[in-house]
Amino acid sequence: MDQPARKRGRPRLLDRDVGLDIAARLFWERGYEGTSTADLTKAMGINPPTLYSMFGSKEELYRQALDFSVSRENGRRSEILQSSLPVYEALRLYLYDIADGDTQPDKPPGCMVSTAVLQHAEENASVARMTAGLREASIQTLKARFDRAVEEDELPSATDTDTLARFYGAIIQGMSAQACDGACNALLKRMIDLALAAWPGKIIT
């Protein structure tokens, strides 16, 4: 009874999510401008008209592939950050999870969002705005968690949570860049430990 309700007409050869996964991987590795529609159709095993009927356009496919990938990570990372752990420990695990994502053995290095479309041709400005928006949203998530920590007396009330969030955002972006340049997981985590030494109230030795 769980039948996928076979519709009429010729059946699809490519599952939509499989296609998005393949596209995400290509965009992740080569960037938006470095990935051609020919690359995409070849990797998916389809012809150009199928790509356009399934996803609309290259830009729409990129957007959907980003949504698809981001939403897969968001659940776990949100759980880590919003857990009952002390904010400092939650932040550490959150950053470790991102470091793990930057250095997965069978996936492209770095983060698909953190360092994407920073430079771009004018015609791709709207794509750049999209990735910038995702980065800003991620920073706002951090800031909201820090604001809550202030309210719950885990952080001094004078804490500049905006700058604090953007600082750890910079670490996230720097980790992605260095992962692209070949940095290993252990190095990224050593960097995180250093960055956590800047946490308000810490005494470094």
Looking at the Cβ atoms of 9 and 201, the one nearer to DNA is: 9
Instruction: Return the one option of a second copy, DNA, none that residue 126 interacts with (CB less than 5 to 8 A, by type).
Output: none
Contact 192, 101 (CB under 8 A): no
Instruction: Return the one option of DNA, a second copy, none that residue 127 interacts with (CB less than 5 to 8 A, by type).
Output: none
User: Which position among 41, 50, 82, 124 is part of the footprint of a second copy (CB under 8 A)?
Assistant: 124
- Residues 6 or more apart whose CB falls under 8 angstroms from that of 18 comprise 44
Looking at the Cβ atoms of 53 and 71, the one nearer to DNA is: 53
User: Which position among 31, 59, 77, 97 is part of the footprint of a second copy (CB under 8 A)?
Assistant: 31
Distance of CA 102 to the CA centre of its chain: 9
Rounded Cα gap, residues 184 and 4, in angstroms: 43
The number of beta carbons lying within 10 Å of the beta carbon of residue 178 is 19
- Residues 6 or more apart whose CB falls under 8 angstroms from that of 105 comprise none
Looking at the Cβ atoms of 106 and 122, the one nearer to DNA is: 122
The number of beta carbons lying within 10 Å of the beta carbon of residue 7 is 8
Looking at the Cβ atoms of 51 and 195, the one nearer to a second copy is: 195
Contact 114, 142 (CB under 8 A): no
Q: Under the rule (CB under 7 A), what is the footprint of DNA?
A: 6-14, 35-39, 46-54, 57-59
User: Which position among 63, 77, 120, 148 is part of the footprint of a second copy (CB under 8 A)?
Assistant: 120
CA atoms within 13 A on the CB side of 65: 29
Positions touching a second copy (CB under 8 A) are 28-31, 33-36, 110, 114-116, 118-122, 124, 132, 135-136, 160, 163-164, 166-167, 169-178, 180-183, 187, 190-191, 194-205
